Amino acid sequence: MSKKRVGITGQQGFIGQALFNTLGLYPDEFERIQFERDFFEDQAKLEKFVSECDVIVHLAAMNRHHDPEVIFETNISLAQKLINALEKSKSKAHVLFSSSSQEERDNLYGKSKREGRELLSNWASKSEALFTGMIIPNVFGPFGNPYYNSFIATFSHQLTHGEQPKIDVDGQVKLIYVHELIDVFLQEIRSKTGKSLLNIPHSSEHKVSEILEILERYKVQYFANGIIPELNSPFEVNLFNTFRSYINHKNHFPVKYVKNTDPRGSFVEIIRLNVGGQVSFSTTVPGITRGNHYHTRKIERFSVIKGKALIQLRKIGTSEVLDFYLDGDEPSYVDMPIWYTHNIKNIGEEELYTNFWINEFYDANDPDTYFEIV
């Protein structure tokens, strides 16, 4: 079976990166067609991009600007330029359009999304192509831009950077986690039929103050004291992983343990848990590297208690490698962020002793482990 060729306008954005990286987990099913920001300024490049795609996910849009008219004109212009390229290349690609629940509101952003959706729907009808117009609730998740994508991104950034969040309006917010949204995108990308209007249901609903209270608890328990907090629902796991993504890993890790020593030897408390999981132990001979994989949901801690280790992290889709040197003489740990491939290497001359904790039992049918060299 041939691969489905998928392109994403706005590939570098919050949702675009999440979708692009997730498509990469299925290399036998999808071919990712690269999109660059300047394609909308070069008609020839945009037409070439469109002609190479079986599916186009149109995410590129302006969400915020001091002048609402600029938002409206920009988003309509992007939709029209995409239509022009589709028509010029005679494409019959399945177009998925990301719209917003703000379509219902009386503002120019919502109006731009509604009219952009209608323009693309009309193109699909005339061209006998597939179209899916997706009405999306408020999206949160790791790596969103603070002060732009979500108040959760803003609060998490502030709490991990010495700032105090302020609530402007303590409203009830309907939310969906970005990877729950990506699952819907995958269903539609795989589908052979379009849906002119697809209302995506929210997966949780909370007051802004309730979410801030949880995030402040994460700051005290995890950020300040290394305690894995109680996580009572998938929403709280997703919120915790979102919060963790805003920590400056270079400055925060490795975290040194308190080592208690007396004539009998030493004692180190490895982890305090308000959540369950699985603890493992390994020995590694000199020169050997373990790992070179990443997770999309798991929470994991590597604790070095004897020997010398190099732990390396690299965010998927980027080239910067973070190096952390740990020594069992001063036991310490590094927590693995989601979507960061990671490894641990014995760089000493004796065996390396490492404790591993992960927040869920290993399941061979759903390991959430994807191999990629750091």
Q: Are 6 and 13 in contact (CB under 8 A)?
A: no
Helix (H, G, I), strand (E, B) or coil at 282: strand
- Where does a domain end: 136, 169, 185? 136
With both helix axes pointing from N to C terminus, report the angle between 234-244 and 208-218 in degrees, rounded to the nearest 10.
60
pLDDT of residue 266: 85
Residue 107, both tokens:
């503002």
With respect to residue 19, please indicate whether it lies within any of the assigned structural domains.
yes
- Where does a domain end: 111, 136, 161? 136
pLDDT of residue 346: 97
Range of the domain at 100: 4-136
CA within 13 Å, CB half, 127:
22
CA distances to 93, 130, 217, 356 from 269, rounded to whole Å, are 56, 57, 21, 13
- Cross-strand pairs, 9: 58
With respect to residue 154, please indicate whether it lies within any of the assigned structural domains.
no
Q: Which residues, other chains included, contact 370 with Cβ-Cβ below 8 Å and sequence gap of 6+?
A: 25, 293, 294, 295, 296, 341
Rounded Cα distance, 171 and 342, in Å? 39
With respect to residue 151, please indicate whether it lies within any of the assigned structural domains.
no
Kindly compute the dihedral angle of the four CA atoms of residues 254, 301, 306, 260, in this order, to the nearest 10 degrees: 80
With respect to residue 217, please indicate whether it lies within any of the assigned structural domains.
no
Task: Read off the pLDDT of residues 107-144 as tens digits, 9 standing for 90 and up.
Answer: 999 999 999 999 999 999 999 999 999 999 999 999 99
- Where does a domain end: 136, 156, 182? 136
With respect to residue 156, please indicate whether it lies within any of the assigned structural domains.
no
Domains identified in the chain, total number: 2
CA angle 135, 139, 144 (to 5 degrees): 135
pLDDT of residue 267: 87
CATH code: domain of residue 125: 3.40.50.720
pLDDT of residue 101: 86
With respect to residue 183, please indicate whether it lies within any of the assigned structural domains.
no
With 0.75 as the threshold, say if the pTM is over it.
yes
Mean pLDDT by 10 residues, the chain (374 residues): 94 97 97 97 97 98 89 96 97 96 87 96 95 96 95 98 96 97 98 92 98 98 97 97 98 94 88 93 96 97 97 97 97 98 98 96 95 98
Number of separate helices (H) and strands (E) present in the chain: 9, 21
With respect to residue 234, please indicate whether it lies within any of the assigned structural domains.
no
Residue 40, both tokens:
């909308």
Nearest partner of 300 among 261, 255, 333, 347, judged by Cα: 333
pLDDT of residue 47: 97
β-pairing, 55-58 vs 94-100, is parallel
Rounded Cα distance, 288 and 349, in Å? 11
Backbone region of residue 52 per phi and psi (left: phi > 0; alpha: psi in -120 to 50; beta: other values): alpha
Task: Read off the pLDDT of residues 87-116 as tens digits, 9 standing for 90 and up.
Answer: 999 999 999 999 998 888 879 999 999 999
CATH code: domain of residue 276: 2.60.120.10
